[in-house]
Amino acid sequence: MPRLFVAVWPPAEVLDLIEALPRPERPGVRWTRRDQWHVTLRFLGPVDDPEPVIGALQGMDAGVAPVEAVLGPAVVRLGRGVVCVDVAGLDAVAAAVAEATTGFGKTPDDRPFHGHLTLARLKGAGAGGLLGADVAARWPVEEVHLVESRLHPKGARYESVAVVPLSAASGIARPPVG
């Protein structure tokens, strides 16, 4: 049964900025990789069949227009165990995704959406020296991805199952195979 989530991926130039941030090797700090850097709009978890989820996303409120994502301005800590960069501007898209996918996967929690891009996970480590680096960018968000997550000992592997444009003329694109 595939583990699914809905996400936004930053463009290459934003990923380049993130990749340039310091990533010191420290015990208890597990850095995420470039191919994992995304903003989760909703985690669904195990879902029997992705096709109905794709249909639900395609049928999102026609008022969900492209938006601008705002990354930064600095590396921060989220909770006790996550080093991240905040991403603003995606609240309306996340709300539309949550509404469209109600009934699929795990029950959404009651916490408000907090857009962020995870840089590292901390296990028994402090965040001293990892926070505060300046990083800021803006980019247009014109689509959301339905993503399958496959757990792996070296970190999850992600594959876009479908790409859904944000506009009144919603369609669907499947990423190329291979």
pLDDT in tens, 67-105: 999 999 999 999 999 999 999 999 999 999 999 999 998
Mean pLDDT (the chain, rounded) = 89
What pTM does this model have? Answer: 0.89
Q: What domains lie within the chain, and their CATH numbers?
A: 3-165 (3.90.1140.10)
The sign of the torsion formed by the CA atoms of 81, 117, 54, 167 equals positive
Give the CA diameter of the chain.
49
Work out the pLDDT band at 153, boundaries 50, 70, 90.
confident
Nearest alpha carbon to residue 53 among 68, 69, 41: 41
Q: What length does the chain have? A: 178
Work out the pLDDT band at 17, boundaries 50, 70, 90.
very high
Three-state DSSP at 117 gives: strand
Using DSSP bridges, classify how beta strands 3-8 and 82-88 pair: parallel, antiparallel or unpaired: unpaired
C-alpha separations of 126 from 26, 84, 107, 116 in Å: 10, 14, 31, 20
